[in-house]
A = this chain, B = another copy of it.
């Protein structure tokens, strides 16, 4: 019985990693679409969304069945609750990718001009946060999870800088408003991807340590 339960936990983890792969792929594709302005990649992102949503429901159902049938205690209970939360965050990362893809599609109608925002760099930082938070989840690695929390400020600062630079550009060159507004919203979407990675990292710490670090980015304080 116990072995079967452990196998179910492993299955749940494996399924969540597939979910993570889909969410990361969606973000990467949406940024590739931004860089190349290739709207066919936007369509790929939009087409993949139903699979992500379907997998989210499957994982929640697996977690719920495990809670109902196995009535796990302590660390196993925290693990399953963490999976439920991480699952929701990954689905929302997928939503951000869809938002970005729709913005890129809208930008296709306007000239591809140089904008004072390094979206690829912001995207690569936000993606690194997601990747590290999931690596921390795979390894149960609290230190790695804490390193993700530190990166979030960097993403926030880049997003703030993008906002300032783009609103200045809009004032000076109002004809570039559509492109600038879309880039501004894409930067915010990436900032939100960083927020979701932060949530995932906090869930890893909660699972391993039993401490709830939310809103206490310094870390180990239990509630």
Interface members, chain A 118-145 (any B CB < 8 Å)? none
* Segment of A15-23, A29-37, A167-175 in the binding face: A167-175
Q: Please, how many angstroms separate the alpha-carbon atoms of A74 and B69 in the complex?
A: 10
Interface members, chain A 53-110 (any B CB < 8 Å)? 53-54, 56-58, 60-61, 64, 67-68, 71, 73-74, 77-78, 81, 84-85, 88
> A43 an interface residue at 8 Å Cβ cutoff?
no
Contact A214 B85 (CB under 8 A): no
Residues of A within 8 A of B (CB): 50, 53-54, 56-58, 60-61, 64, 67-68, 71, 73-74, 77-78, 81, 84-85, 88, 163, 167, 170-172, 174-175, 177-178, 181, 184-185, 188, 212, 214-215, 223
